[in-house]
């Protein structure tokens, strides 16, 4: 999951970099600036998974 999030951000940065004709360094910087968003998404998901409602059910369940 973590790898797919990081790779997804890299692909999005590459597409935007090509679209706006950025240098490789600018594209890499754009990608690096989105990594904290990946960490925040993972933290929010973990908190949601470990939190239970009044009925004792998880707020976020495992797919399956």
What is the pTM for the complete model shown?
Answer: 0.65
The answer as to whether 61 is a domain residue is no
The answer as to whether 58 is a domain residue is no
Domain containing 16: what range?
A: 2-50
The answer as to whether 25 is a domain residue is yes
17 pLDDT higher than 80: yes
The answer as to whether 57 is a domain residue is no
pLDDT of residue 54: 93
The answer as to whether 30 is a domain residue is yes
The answer as to whether 62 is a domain residue is no
Q: What gap in Å lies between CA 22 and CA 14, rounded to an integer? A: 9
- Kindly provide the b/e burial profile for residues 1-17, where b requires at least 16 CB atoms within 10 angstroms of the residue's own CB: eeeebeeebbeebbeeb
Residue 32: enclosing H or E segment and its boundaries? helix 24-50
User: What is the CB-side half-sphere exposure of residue 12 using CA atoms within 13 A?
Assistant: 12
Number of domains in the chain: 1
The answer as to whether 55 is a domain residue is no
Q: Which of 18-22, 43-47, 54-58 has the highest mean pLDDT?
A: 18-22
The answer as to whether 9 is a domain residue is yes
């Amino acid at each position: 999951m973590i790898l797919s999030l990081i790779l997804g951000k890299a692909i999005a940065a590459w597409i935007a970099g090509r679209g706006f004709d950025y240098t490789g360094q600018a594209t890499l910087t754009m990608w690096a600036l989105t990594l904290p968003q990946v960490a925040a998404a993972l933290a929010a998901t973990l908190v949601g998974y470990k939190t239970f409602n009044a009925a004792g059910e998880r707020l976020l369940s495992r797919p399956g």
